[in-house]
């Protein structure tokens, strides 16, 4: 049986907050999650959801209140784990007195890369992230995008089996994001496991095999991207050319919601049951059909669906609090 790359076993984290009377604040509710070897796994959630806390726990930067995790079959505290994993923190900051080459060399030393291989490996990484020409410049003169590239280079410098990336696309321009996406694809082809957190859903949809959604420190859902986005919504989308800027009334009567695209192109969404009737309308009106596709759920819709219960709960809590206040006020005879 293959060993899971990451096995998170009820990992939990709470912090003490408050100045005088300290009380625990839950940052991560017991989390149970398994990531298989060779997977590209997306950890999705809004800011403050618990993504970075989870990554920090796995990196040993913060200590769990309860639970544990196994990484590459070893206990997360096992010192051998660190030589087989790479980590890119969110908005990384590096020793800015060093040049990119010096920094990678330093990390290579700490990772135990033999000196004979180190220089070649450093140059290879610099070339891979497109920084060969800037390798001799101190990092204090680097842009945010360049720092992110250095961050990626240091994360994969020692050829780790498992790479953790915390918001790797954050703050990057479209070109930079594309380069990061390409790099993750390459890592997948090399058989590495990639665990990355993001709130950019289009990136997750195009890159990940599986995703998990976390919100308010709680795991809301896990699934394969292909499955999550394959569910149809009982609707179809018909794209066709209209004769003029006018949608046939018969189509609207079938319940179609239409909008004009470029030129006379029309996108109409209507119930799947009306598909044949709609095609008949197009034939009758002699309109040119371009495409007919079932409407599938996007990752964004899945994501929002997972977050919604929490929002509803929040609203319900606020409402019940207001109600309690009103009741309390009416008991005391005070208006609220």
Partner 1 sequence: MNSNVTGARIGYIAFNTFREAVRDRVLYNLIAFALLLSGAAILVGEISIDIERLVVVNLGLTAISLFGVVIAIFIGIGLVSKEIDKRTLYTVLSRPVRRWEFVVGKFFGLTGTLVVNTFFMALGVFLALVYVAHKFEPMDVWVLAALYFIVLQFFIVCALALFFSSFSTPLMSAIFTFALFVIGNLSEDLRGFARVTSGLGGALATLIAYAVPNFSALNVISQVAHGDPIPGRLILYNTAYTLLYSAMAISGAVLIFQRRNLK
Residues 6+ apart with CB under 8 A from 153: 100, 104, 125, 126, 128, 129, 131
- Side-by-side strand order, sheet with 66-71: 23-35, 6-17, 66-71, 74-75
**C-alpha torsion sign, points 46, 49, 53, 57:** negative
Instruction: Please identify, among the stretches 75-83, 222-230, 241-249, 309-317, the one whose residues bind partner 1 according to the rule CB under 8 A.
Output: 75-83
| Half-sphere CA count of 191, side-chain side, radius 13 A | 2
**β-strands 66-71, 74-75 pairing:** antiparallel
Q: Is 83 in the site for partner 1 (CB under 8 A)?
A: yes
From candidates 41, 94, 196, 303, binder to partner 1 by CB under 8 A: 94
Cα Dmax for the chain:
83
Task: Report the nearest approach of partner 1 to the CB of residue 171 (Å).
Answer: 15
93 vs 276 by CB, closer to partner 1: 93
Question: Any idea what the Cα angle at residue 58 is, between residues 140 and 176, rounded to 5°?
Answer: 40
String marking each residue 20-59 x if it binds partner 1 according to CB under 8 A: ------------------------------------x--x
Q: Would you say 97 or 308 has its CB closer to partner 1?
A: 97
Q: Are 168 and 182 in contact (CB under 8 A)?
A: no
At 317, is the secondary structure helix, strand, or coil?
helix
CB burial readout 287-312, b (16+ within 10 A) else e: beeeeeeeeeeebeebbeebbeeeee
Give the binding-site size for partner 1 (rule: CB under 8 A): 31
61 binds partner 1 (CB under 8 A): yes
Residue 96 or 182 having the CB closest to partner 1: 96
End-to-end CA distance of the chain: 63
Q: Residue 101 or 220: which CB sits closer to partner 1?
A: 101
17 lies in the binding site for partner 1 (CB under 8 A):
no
| Comparison of 59 and 310: residue with beta carbon closer to partner 1 | 59
Between residues 163 and 225, which has the closer beta carbon with respect to partner 1?
163
Segment lying near partner 1 (by CB under 8 A), choices 110-118, 120-128, 194-202, 218-226:
110-118
Kindly report the number of other CB atoms within 10 A of residue 10's CB atom.
14
- Binding mask 120-159 vs partner 1 (x if CB under 8 A, - otherwise)? -------------------------------x--x---x-
Out of 19, 20, 93, 262, the only residue in the binding site for partner 1 (CB under 8 A) is 93
Q: Shortest Cβ distance from residue 195 to partner 1 (Å)? A: 13
Burial tier of 2 (Cβ tally within 10 Å: 0-12, 13-18, 19+): exposed
Residue 110 in contact with partner 1, rule: CB under 8 A: yes
CB of 334 to partner 1, least distance (A): 42
Q: Does 217 bind partner 1 (CB under 8 A)?
A: no
Burial class (CB in 10 A: 0-12, 13-18, 19+), 14: middle
Interface with partner 1 (CB under 8 A): 15, 56, 59-63, 79-80, 82-83, 85-87, 89, 92-95, 97-98, 106-107, 109-112, 151, 154, 158, 164
């Amino acid at each position: 049986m293959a060993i899971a790359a990451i096995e998170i076993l009820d990992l939990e984290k709470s912090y003490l907050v408050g100045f005088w009377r300290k009380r625990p604040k839950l940052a991560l509710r017991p989390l149970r999650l398994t990531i298989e070897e060779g997977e590209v796994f997306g950890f999705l959630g809004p800011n403050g959801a618990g993504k970075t806390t989870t990554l920090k726990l796995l990196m040993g930067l913060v200590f769990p209140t309860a639970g544990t995790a196994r990484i590459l079959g070893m206990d997360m505290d096992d010192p051998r784990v660190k030589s087989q994993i790479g980590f890119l923190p969110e908005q990384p900051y590096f020793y800015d007195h060093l040049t990119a080459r010096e920094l990678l060399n330093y990390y290579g030393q700490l990772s135990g890369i033999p000196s004979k291989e180190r220089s070649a490996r450093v140059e290879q990484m610099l070339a891979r992230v497109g920084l060969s020409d800037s390798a001799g410049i101190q990092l204090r003169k680097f842009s945010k995008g360049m720092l992110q590239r250095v961050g990626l280079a240091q994360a994969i410098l020692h050829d780790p089996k498992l790479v953790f990336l915390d918001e790797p696309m954050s703050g990057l321009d479209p070109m930079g994001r594309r380069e990061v996406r390409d790099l993750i694809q390459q890592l997948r082809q090399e058989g590495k496991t990639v665990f990355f957190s993001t709130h950019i859903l289009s990136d997750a949809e195009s890159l990940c095999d599986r995703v998990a959604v976390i919100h308010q420190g709680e795991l809301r859902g896990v699934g394969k991207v292909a499955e999550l986005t394959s569910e149809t919504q009982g609707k179809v989308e018909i794209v066709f050319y209209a004769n003029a800027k006018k949608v046939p009334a018969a189509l609207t009567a079938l319940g179609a919601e239409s909008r004009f695209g470029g030129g006379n192109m029309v996108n109409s969404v209507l119930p799947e049951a009306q598909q044949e009737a709609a095609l008949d309308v197009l034939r009758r009106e002699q309109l040119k059909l371009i495409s007919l596709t079932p409407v599938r759920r996007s990752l964004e819709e899945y994501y929002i669906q997972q977050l919604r219960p929490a929002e509803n709960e929040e609203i319900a809590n606020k409402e019940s609090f207001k109600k309690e206040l009103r009741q309390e006020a009416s008991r005391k005879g005070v208006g609220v």
